[in-house]
Structure 1
């Protein structure tokens, strides 16, 4: 019998996301799937901008990006003419990933499974959920294996990520409402059409419309035939038909291979009006199914899972009351409804059933092509429909109005995504560090602290009460450590350097303000510190419980002491005293690491078979961000190991051997330096300056890093220990 408090049914991208995020937060989870093993046939391809941001926050993007193809355009063809080429315009939606990544869902699932296995969770294949009975305190489930063995037990929480034919949804009596409008054919083929692979292509032919989506492999395309679905059991007949249609649209002979995969499917537009029933939840295709015309299904499902998992984790760990879970459906059901509307439009445009379409389309697109402002407007509208960056939760119970009242100021408002462009990330240290911070699975509290004792005190008070659930960051002009002495290991505010103030300006934060960011990167609250009460009131209103807060009372903190608060505070004082001693030791180890920054140490990564790889490396250490950096190249074993398994260690010792420190953490690997002035080279410059000072020829330095294909291996320190008799 499993002791895991969470049972996730379905090991597709949605279930894997839920399991990964729960496990990353220290919550035990069981993941089962009725299938005998992982899917091997091709399915979804597109990973859109918002999902790429989520993958970055999950720590998966460095593994996923090299295995996909970036698509930044949408091109329409008819009778040998290119009618128009739409560009992607993200100018009103700041993101570091202004593109869609085409990567086979099989690969996406593999990356998730491998990372989940590194965290100690394996999918239990061939084990299906047959039935369950919801209760007030648990869900009684019955699982059946492929060999007929049966397992019954009670689990506190159940998540159904089991697809369009969901057992969980059906047993809960939740009906998928909507319609089925089209029947299309999918075929994965190779072709010599020589179409630009940085674009999706819509081919209007005399025999209907074809949608072509590129695979990462050269010459391989997903072809969607929106009219002819016959002969699906005859690959040669399908090959001939597709070759004929593509030749007609492109105005030249085109060769097409026999399909490596064929599927006929009904385009459905359906969803349920509730995604939770007591202790049971549904996510992804179990809750809503969409037309593939805009590639929303997998993306919306991953976003469902990401939204749900951190909330469940906070409740299971006792950081928040159960009312936090009410926000899941309140936020995601309206998004599902909006997606149904946008995918209906996309389906109609792709299929183009209107008899006047072949006449009106060239005329209309010709006019659009000649009017630049109109073309840009259409490009923005098109991108907004599928990129996921416009998903907002302004009406959510987790989006708190400003306590100061009045018109909203600059920066994102509550319920809006916190994001920046690639240029801002490259040019501003504050944004770079905040993007790293958003990989932390906790809430994030930002407080400008420069010279403000009240702000520093408010940050420390919040950290002491909510530290395990909230990462507290002091926004400062300087990168000098600002954490107050004696703070506990879980409640140690850390500096977030913002030397040019760009981050504070972009977030609309002035002196005496705070911003609270949710674990999924959306702003929850922003307002005045109000003598330090502002953050506490916001956290209380959101349902987060701290020391002395009795579960989910619903009362705002700081108004009156909760019953039982005094004993809790006494226990907290004892714990704080012990934690202070631990912190003094950790500070000494970090000081050892900082004193030897620019020197050498031993980096420990894990080989594929689990054995350690020891590398003697030079390093730099930034105490303010608690980040250790190593310059390396893509072909090194340590680079490959860290990309595959981010768990790393680092050992440093003094010359006289009287002190040593061991530092464990999570690694991330930058992209390879491609331009003398790109973000990677800028970071290498910062590392050199911090340890060696000024270089005699910076241009030569920058060019050499590109020539050598250098990159940065970063380690965010999470745990340290060792022995110090004395430091040299």
Structure 2
């Protein structure tokens, strides 16, 4: 231990502030890649069912599958194969070009359980009841001050810090970033209730007139109900009673399903906000610390998890010396537009759902009819909601596949791409066998197409195309590997190394 004020050598490590889904996935990715990571969380370490997120979309399930976690959640969740919006638009998720042709209704705390277990098993360090009180950075690293459960101030030092600490992010405030936006919907009520026995596994959601309600099972005999009614604009601290919840459910769903025995009732409001920059020097923001959305479409938690999937491998590449720090600038360039698009799509759904004026109601009906009839429109809506429709920008002159999401295709040896990606690895898929040598074996898997396809494709650890060529020579492939995966003569990263150092 060193005394306060000591300036240590900056370790090649990361501090993650916040242990929600975004912080947990990021911590697990970093630890899996051999990057020492410390997670600081102000809350006690306990499992809570008082969470708002209930939907895991197809693209997030794909990312979890690439980490060996999706099947576990699939076993306890409830697949929903159709989406019904505005009471008239029925979208069949079976048309998704994904292994996961559904959305999964599963409580956020179940997602957190599997992500935390993975992070702990990979070696991530967790400090609970540790509230960050200050953060500064310099050319060599980041210093984070936090107060522990005994009221003592401790100081951590690391190469980078990531704020995944939510709407009221201390990290975002510390780097001086604004959080522009506004509240878009108030008085959303949440309730955990039991239903009549005949509705034991009910999963339903609908919008009728000026009312919306969603009902989803916890799996322990209780259901979560989220409901909202036009014109009922009350502050968050106004108590909720069961009769209010039942009334909105009857309006939106035509039935209250015998709701009884509530164990928890709450009211909240929803904002639409986004920071102008996801990176400030050695500090990065992810999840709700970077963007918050309306609950329409269930995209909030999913977008944060996609942030983490994009950022983790990039931090690992930089800290292991396989890429320069400018790789981290691509995190903002790729994820900020997605966050903005989610703001627009979730906000658009919400505004159409809230429509009351005759012209707005007519627009809603026309939108539902168009999306229901026009295949391209329906696919675009579905791609945005589920996350599989996004791609990242590519350099001018790049192959058309560059930046595209790669589906979970079967490889020549019978394995799946998502299996090959496990361990935060790049995957090189070529028409013929290719041996790039042992130097990159820690971070690169080679595979062949199962079909007679002639394109060589390098898939990033997050499942998007880094590089592709229809006429690549061995020299072209080596050049691409050097640019994206790192030099063949670069030292392999060790497991562990310098942890984020703490000084009391």
In the alignment, the residues of structure 2 paired with residue 431 and residue 180 of structure 1 have an alpha-carbon distance, to the nearest angstrom, of: 49
Q: Number of paired residues?
A: 480
* Mapping for residues 676-695 of structure 1, pairs under 5 Å: none
Alpha carbons 1:86, 1:379 under 8 Å: kept: no
Alignment of 1:302 with 2:305, yes or no, is yes
Measured at CA, do residues 73 and 260 of structure 1 come closer, stay the same or move farther in structure 2, by a change above 3 Å? farther
Alignment of 1:9 with 2:13, yes or no, is no
In the alignment, the residues of structure 2 paired with residue 311 and residue 320 of structure 1 have an alpha-carbon distance, to the nearest angstrom, of: 8
SS at match of 1:94: coil
Alignment of 1:466 with 2:440, yes or no, is yes
Measured at CA, do residues 543 and 470 of structure 1 come closer, stay the same or move farther in structure 2, by a change above 3 Å? closer
Alignment of 1:313 with 2:316, yes or no, is yes
In the alignment, the residues of structure 1 paired with residue 348 and residue 208 of structure 2 have an alpha-carbon distance, to the nearest angstrom, of: 17
In the alignment, the residues of structure 2 paired with residue 311 and residue 149 of structure 1 have an alpha-carbon distance, to the nearest angstrom, of: 34
Match of 2:296 among 293, 296, 312: 293
In the alignment, the residues of structure 1 paired with residue 422 and residue 27 of structure 2 have an alpha-carbon distance, to the nearest angstrom, of: 16
Alignment of 1:171 with 2:174, yes or no, is yes
User: Structure 1, residues 383-440: CA drift from partner, whole Å, max 9, x if none?
Assistant: 2231000110033x6x9713xxxxx5xxxx11001104xxx75xx8666433321224
Alpha carbons 1:463, 1:472 under 8 Å: kept: no
TM-score between both structures, scaled by the size of structure 1: 0.60
Residue of structure 2 in register with 1:418 after alignment = 406
Alpha carbons 1:203, 1:246 under 8 Å: kept: no
Alignment of 1:538 with 2:492, yes or no, is no
Alpha carbons 2:206, 2:253 under 8 Å: kept: no
Residue of structure 2 in register with 1:56 after alignment = 65
In the alignment, the residues of structure 2 paired with residue 289 and residue 345 of structure 1 have an alpha-carbon distance, to the nearest angstrom, of: 14
SS at match of 1:310: helix
User: Structure 1, residues 618-668: CA drift from partner, whole Å, max 9, x if none?
Assistant: xxxxxxxxxxxxxxxxxxxxxxxxxxxxxxxxxxxxxxxxxxxxxxxxxxx
Match of 2:463 among 515, 521, 524: 521
Gaps of 5+ in 2: 2-9, 493-504
In the alignment, the residues of structure 2 paired with residue 328 and residue 372 of structure 1 have an alpha-carbon distance, to the nearest angstrom, of: 32
Measured at CA, do residues 127 and 166 of structure 1 come closer, stay the same or move farther in structure 2, by a change above 3 Å? same
* Mapping for residues 474-513 of structure 1, pairs under 5 Å: 475=448, 501-502=450-451, 504-505=452-453, 510=454, 513=455
Alpha carbons 1:16, 1:109 under 8 Å: kept: yes
Match of 1:96 among 99, 120, 143: 99
SS at match of 1:18: helix
Measured at CA, do residues 239 and 320 of structure 1 come closer, stay the same or move farther in structure 2, by a change above 3 Å? same
Q: Report the CA distance between 1:69 and its aligned residue.
A: 0.8
> Rg bigger for which structure?
1
State which drifts further: 226-235 or 65-74: 226-235
Measured at CA, do residues 390 and 197 of structure 1 come closer, stay the same or move farther in structure 2, by a change above 3 Å? farther
Residue of structure 2 in register with 1:210 after alignment = 212
SS at match of 2:120: helix
Gaps of 5+ in 1: 78-82, 403-407, 450-455, 476-497, 549-567, 573-728
User: Structure 1, residues 527-559: CA drift from partner, whole Å, max 9, x if none?
Assistant: 1565411112223444733317xxxxxxxxxxx
Alpha carbons 1:270, 1:289 under 8 Å: kept: yes
Alignment of 1:401 with 2:382, yes or no, is no
In the alignment, the residues of structure 2 paired with residue 181 and residue 193 of structure 1 have an alpha-carbon distance, to the nearest angstrom, of: 36
SS at match of 2:241: helix
SS at match of 1:294: coil
In the alignment, the residues of structure 2 paired with residue 296 and residue 8 of structure 1 have an alpha-carbon distance, to the nearest angstrom, of: 22
In the alignment, the residues of structure 2 paired with residue 47 and residue 157 of structure 1 have an alpha-carbon distance, to the nearest angstrom, of: 29
* Mapping for residues 308-387 of structure 1, pairs under 5 Å: 308-354=311-357, 368=369, 374=373, 379-387=378-386
User: Structure 1, residues 100-152: CA drift from partner, whole Å, max 9, x if none?
Assistant: 11111111111111222222334211112211211101112212112111112
User: Structure 1, residues 578-608: CA drift from partner, whole Å, max 9, x if none?
Assistant: xxxxxxxxxxxxxxxxxxxxxxxxxxxxxxx
Match of 2:81 among 72, 78, 91: 72
Alpha carbons 2:187, 2:236 under 8 Å: kept: no
Alpha carbons 1:192, 1:254 under 8 Å: kept: yes
Q: Report the CA distance between 1:265 and its aligned residue.
A: 2.2
